[in-house]
Amino acid sequence: MSDTQTMVRTQIIIDDHGYFLAQGQDLVALEKRIEDAVRGGGRFERFIVVGNREMSVLFTATSRVCFSVETVQYDPRDTGDAAEPFGGFFDD
């Protein structure tokens, strides 16, 4: 039996650019916000990506969005807390 811890990681692909969502992001709520943004003629929606960095993306009727969900090795840094970013130039 393996002691390897895992977690579920979701990738959002927007017009051929992929971003992994940070832990704690509500996928169903994000999908609904994107749908509402498109129905309303387009608007910016915010979400947190791995690295605890906030993204702000303009979603319009021409945006192509795809979600992919997979199980990956656990990363204790991936908390979804934008106040504690990681993975940048100065990170170990």
Residue 3 confidence (pLDDT): 83
Task: Tell me what pLDDT residue 73 has.
Answer: 94
Q: What is the reported pLDDT for 2?
A: 67
Q: Where are the alpha helices (DSSP H) in 14-76?
A: 27-39
| Size of the chain, expressed as the number of residues it contains | 92
What confidence score (pLDDT) does residue 89 get? 52
The DSSP H or E segment spanning 67 is strand 65-73
Domains of the chain, residue spans = 6-73
Mean pLDDT by runs of 10 across the 92 residues of the chain is 87 97 95 98 97 96 97 92 78 47
For the segment 10-22, what is each residue's pLDDT rounded down to a tens digit? Answer: 999 999 999 999 9
Instruction: Give the separation between CA 3 and CA 20, rounded to whole angstroms.
Output: 24
pTM: 0.84
